[in-house]
């Protein structure tokens, strides 16, 4: 929805007082926008609740803080390439989103066992570390205290939203996105010396039938412990743990929420690293450009240079030296065929990682590749075949020090998953004959009902 005329949308919203309310939660209101049926306005409230609203208070200014937090979080997720319902912040308390039919499930990702998990899993000690992150699903039903569901229960329920029925592929996609969001935010929080302990997310289906991350992600959505210390918690759990809700406690709570909003504002940052693509000849420019484009898709700035390790050795060493002194994390990608001296010379004169990406051809590839594979000792060059693989290898190295690249890699992996999932769905649809195993035939529902 990049073609939205935001000025027209803002004009249609006006001051917001004449909009029709189409939904309301404990801490937000949802409005439709005249002439824009595919869009919605989400407005935060100054309300905080706990224990299914058995405890609730109004905190002046909380709506602005919650809206700020949600907008910054979704902006960060958008900046790493994740498609969500979020479009833009509209006012201090409102943001514009794609209109979704919500799936009544809360997906929770946990890194550390604490809170309600301990009550539901007696014997597990607080602080137990989940690796991979522990996933749980809860059906949104206040009257029954949001019961926990298994994946099988979700699928059996046949939940439908905007014409999409939640089956195994939809469950698998929501699982993947939940983990992606958790890991991307966990990395960002870690850079702020805070531990993301757990968080919840929700999903919706757009009018076009696309399943996307939706709702809000604010300080009510997670547990955050500075320095990993529960006693310093900045999140809603502080409110839940209060023996008595006092004015001083609510003031402290608001201060915590404002601090979190300030922290997440800095999650979206320029990329810190870079790739330097060294070509042995200008003839390799097309291949080097393909690597540069693939780097760009992963958010990695890439610089192209030309120098021959054989013919202009001193110049090559000077180019390498230029990227040593500014303390920017750097990966060199050596593009040289025939006798590859560029990669080994670069690796022998820098501590930065070096990736050989020879531009192979059908004539001499089987001979030329050995000059990139069989290195002298003490160099540590990596060799990959293909422009995209070279960019991906560089991005994975840089992701160790850059959370923006790390996030883009997570999204890239998600896209690969979705591509394969769609291909399999199309293949299954094309199958004229469904093969059923003897076991499945023997224990079919019809047989069980008949006996």
Torsion of CA 204, 205, 211, 215, to 10 degrees: -20
Positions of CATH 3.30.470.20 in the chain: 6-264
Quote the CA–CA distance of 13 and 286 in Å, as a whole number.
48
CATH number of 274-405: 3.40.50.1970
Please give the structure tokens belonging to residue 242: 């209060």
Residues 6+ apart with CB under 8 A from 441: 447
Determine the average pLDDT of the residues in 422-448. Answer: 60
Positions of CATH 3.40.50.1970 in the chain: 274-405
Please give the structure tokens belonging to residue 130: 């989940």
Quote the CA–CA distance of 349 and 330 in Å, as a whole number.
14
- The sign of the dihedral angle between the CA atoms of 105, 109, 114, 118 is positive
What percent of the chain has a predicted confidence (pLDDT) above 90? 81
161-193 pLDDT tens trace: 999 999 999 999 999 999 999 999 999 999 999
pLDDT at 104 over 70: yes
Query: Which pLDDT value is given to residue 367?
Result: 73
The number of beta carbons lying within 10 Å of the beta carbon of residue 396 is 14
- Using the CB atoms, write b or e for 82-95: b if 16+ within 10 Å: bbbbbbebbeebbb
pTM for the model: 0.91
Q: Are 63 and 91 in contact (CB under 8 A)?
A: no
Query: Which pLDDT value is given to residue 449?
Result: 45
Rounded to 5 degrees, what are φ and ψ at 31?
Answer: -125, 145
Residue predicted with more confidence, 446 or 406: 406
First to last CA, the chain: 54
pLDDT at 197 over 80: yes
Banded model confidence at residue 437, pLDDT cuts 50, 70, 90 = low
335-361 pLDDT tens trace: 987 788 898 999 999 999 999 999 877
Torsion of CA 20, 49, 197, 170, to 10 degrees: -40
SS3 label, residue 333: strand
Query: Which pLDDT value is given to residue 365?
Result: 65
pLDDT at 306 over 70: yes
pLDDT at 30 over 80: yes
Quote the CA–CA distance of 66 and 28 in Å, as a whole number.
10
Quote the CA–CA distance of 39 and 32 in Å, as a whole number.
7
Please give the structure tokens belonging to residue 450: 């008949």
Banded model confidence at residue 140, pLDDT cuts 50, 70, 90 = very high
* H/E element, 335: strand 330-335
CATH class of 6-264: alpha beta
pLDDT at 249 over 80: yes
SS3 label, residue 161: strand
| DSSP H helix total and E strand total for the chain | 16, 21
pLDDT at 448 over 60: no
Q: Are 33 and 40 in contact (CB under 8 A)?
A: yes
Determine the average pLDDT of the residues in 318-344. Answer: 90
The closest of 310, 85, 287, 28 to 204, measured between CA atoms, is 85
71-97 pLDDT tens trace: 999 999 999 999 999 999 999 999 999
Q: What is the mean pLDDT of the chain?
A: 92
Residue 412 burial (C-beta neighbours within 10 Å; 0-12, 13-18, 19+): middle
373-427 pLDDT tens trace: 788 888 989 999 999 999 999 999 999 999 999 999 999 999 999 999 988 888 8
Query: Which pLDDT value is given to residue 362?
Result: 66
Place of tokens 């059996």: 156
pLDDT at 451 over 70: no
The number of beta carbons lying within 10 Å of the beta carbon of residue 196 is 25
Please give the structure tokens belonging to residue 71: 């907008």
Quote the CA–CA distance of 264 and 194 in Å, as a whole number.
11
Banded model confidence at residue 443, pLDDT cuts 50, 70, 90 = very low
The closest of 328, 325, 369, 319 to 346, measured between CA atoms, is 319
CA 4 to mean position of chain CA atoms: 24
Please give the structure tokens belonging to residue 412: 């890239």
Quote the CA–CA distance of 74 and 218 in Å, as a whole number.
10
Rounded to 5 degrees, what are φ and ψ at 100?
Answer: -130, 145
CB half-sphere exposure, 306, CA atoms < 13 A? 8
Query: Which pLDDT value is given to residue 190?
Result: 97
- Poorest-confidence range of 117-121, 328-332, 430-434? 430-434
């Amino acid at each position: 929805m990049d073609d939205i005329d935001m000025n027209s949308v803002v004009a249609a919203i006006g001051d917001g007082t004449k909009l029709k309310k189409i939904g309301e939660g404990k801490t937000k209101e949802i409005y439709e926008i005249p002439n824009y049926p595919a869009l919605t306005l989400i407005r935060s409230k100054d309300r905080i609740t706990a224990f299914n609203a058995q405890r609730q208070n109004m905190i002046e200014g909380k709506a602005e803080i919650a809206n700020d937090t949600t907008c910054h979080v979704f902006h960060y997720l958008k900046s790493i390439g994740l498609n969500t319902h979020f479009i833009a912040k509209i006012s201090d308390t409102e943001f514009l989103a794609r209109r979704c039919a919500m799936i009544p499930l809360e997906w929770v990702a946990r890194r550390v066992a604490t809170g309600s998990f301990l009550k539901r899993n007696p014997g597990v000690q607080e602080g137990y570390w989940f690796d991979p992150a522990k996933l749980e699903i809860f059906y949104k039903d206040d009257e029954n205290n949001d019961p926990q569901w298994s994946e099988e229960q979700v699928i059996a329920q046949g939940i439908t939203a905007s014409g999409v029925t939640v089956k195994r592929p939809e469950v698998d996609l929501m699982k993947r996105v939940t983990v992606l969001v958790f890991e991307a935010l966990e990395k960002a929080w870690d850079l702020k010396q805070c531990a993301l302990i757990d968080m919840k997310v929700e999903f919706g289906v757009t009018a076009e039938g696309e399943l996307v991350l939706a709702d809000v992600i604010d300080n009510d959505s997670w547990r955050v412990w500075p320095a990993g210390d529960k006693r310093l918690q900045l999140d809603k759990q502080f409110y839940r743990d209060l023996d008595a809700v006092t004015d001083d406690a609510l003031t402290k709570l608001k201060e915590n929420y404002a601090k979190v909003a300030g922290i997440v504002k800095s999650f979206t940052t320029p990329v810190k690293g870079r790739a330097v693509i060294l070509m042995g000849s200008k003839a390799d420019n097309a291949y080097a450009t393909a690597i540069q484009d693939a780097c760009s898709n992963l958010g990695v700035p890439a610089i192209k240079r030309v120098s021959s390790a054989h013919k202009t050795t001193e110049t090559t060493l000077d180019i390498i030296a230029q990227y040593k002194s500014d303390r920017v994390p750097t990966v060199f990608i050596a593009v040289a065929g025939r006798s590859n001296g560029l990669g080994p010379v670069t690796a022998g004169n820098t501590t930065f990682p070096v990736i050989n990406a020879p531009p192979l051809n059908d004539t001499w590839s089987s001979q030329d590749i050995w000059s990139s594979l069989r290195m002298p000792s003490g160099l540590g060059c990596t060799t990959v075949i293909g422009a995209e693989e070279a960019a991906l290898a560089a991005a994975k190295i840089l992701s160790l020090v850059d959370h923006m690249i790390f996030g883009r890699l997570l999204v890239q992996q998600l896209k690969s998953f979705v591509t394969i999932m769609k291909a399999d769905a199309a293949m299954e649809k094309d199958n004229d004959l469904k093969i059923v195993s003897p076991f499945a035939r023997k224990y079919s529902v019809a047989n069980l009902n008949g006996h």
